Amino acid sequence: MKLSALVVARNEEARLGPCLERLAFADEIVVVIDRTTDRSAEIAHRHGARLIEGAWEFEGPRRSAGIAACGGHWILEIDADERVSPPLAAEIRKAIDGPEGGYFLLPMANHIGARLVRFGWGAYNGPGAKPALFRKGAKIWGRGRVHPKITLTGPRHWLNEPLDHYIDRDLADMIARLNRYTDLAALDAAEQGRRPKFVAAFRRIFSRGWKSYVSRRGYREGAYGIALALFAALYPLLTELKLATRIERQETS
C-alpha cells in the first residue's frame, strides 16, 4: 500500500526539517505551506516534498487541501512539532498492509521542552491519542479556526508506538497558546452568532480541572500537572469572556 505523509505548516522553519527527516519511510511527502514568510518552502523542497502553497483562514479547508493532494492509499497526517520514531515508522508500514480501510489512533508522547509529560493531557491542552493514520477518505475535517470537528469512517484500530509531540517549549509557551486558542475560539463563536454561556463555563472550571488533575493523574507531573489542569479549566471561561467583549465592541461601535 502506498503511504503519503502530510505536514501542514505555517512559519515552521525551526521545526519542519527535523520533522521531515523522520518521514523518509513514506512513499511521498506532501507539505502544505500556509501564508509562510520564512524558509519553510525551501526546507520542504530540500527534503523532496511536494509543496502546496496557499492562504486558508480556517484549519479544516487547509488540511482538506493537503489530504486531496496526497496520492497514497493511506495518509499519515502530522504537524511540524511531531516526530515519528523508527519503531513507529516500522509499525505504520506493517499496519497499513492489513485492514482495507478505517483509521488508526496513535498514542501521543507529549513533551514540554525536553521533558516528557505523561499525565494530565486532554481538553484543548493536547490529546492523549489522535487519528493521525487513515485510509484516504476516512477522515474529513470540518470548518473552524481552532480544533474543528473531524468525521471518521470505517473501523478504528490502535498502534502501540507513540508519536512524539513537542507541544510547548515552556510555561510561557503554554500561556501564549491558551491566549491564542481562546482568541480563535471566541472568533468562531462570534461568527456563528452564539451568545456567551457563562453558567456552563463556570461549571466546566471544576469538571475539566478535576478531570485533568485527578482523573488523568496530572498530580503526578508536579507544576506542569497544575498548569495543565488550570489551563483546561480556564479555556471555556476565557473563550466566553472574549466572546462577550467582542460582542460588546460590535454593539457599541
The DSSP string of 216-244 is T-GGGGTHHHHHHHHHHHHHHHHHHHHHH
Percent of the chain with pLDDT over 70: 100
**Which pLDDT score is estimated for 170?**
94
**Which pLDDT score is estimated for 225?**
96
Is residue 154 domain-shared with residue 247, that is, in the same domain? Answer: no
Is residue 88 domain-shared with residue 188, that is, in the same domain? Answer: no
Domain C-terminal end among 131, 151, 168: 168
Q: Determine how many CB atoms are found less than 10 A away from the CB of residue 115.
A: 11
Instruction: Determine how β-strand 129-135 pairs with β-strand 74-79.
Output: antiparallel
**Which pLDDT score is estimated for 100?**
80
Q: pTM above 0.75?
A: yes
**Tens-digit pLDDT profile for residues 209-250:** 999 999 999 999 999 999 999 999 999 999 999 999 999 988
Q: How far apart are CA 205 and CA 9, in angstroms?
A: 32
Q: How far apart are CA 237 and CA 171, in angstroms?
A: 20
CATH code for the domain of 86: 3.90.550.10
Is residue 67 domain-shared with residue 98, that is, in the same domain? Answer: yes
Low-confidence residues of the chain: pLDDT under 70: none
Is residue 193 domain-shared with residue 97, that is, in the same domain? Answer: no
User: Which domain covers residue 118, as residue numbers?
Assistant: 3-168
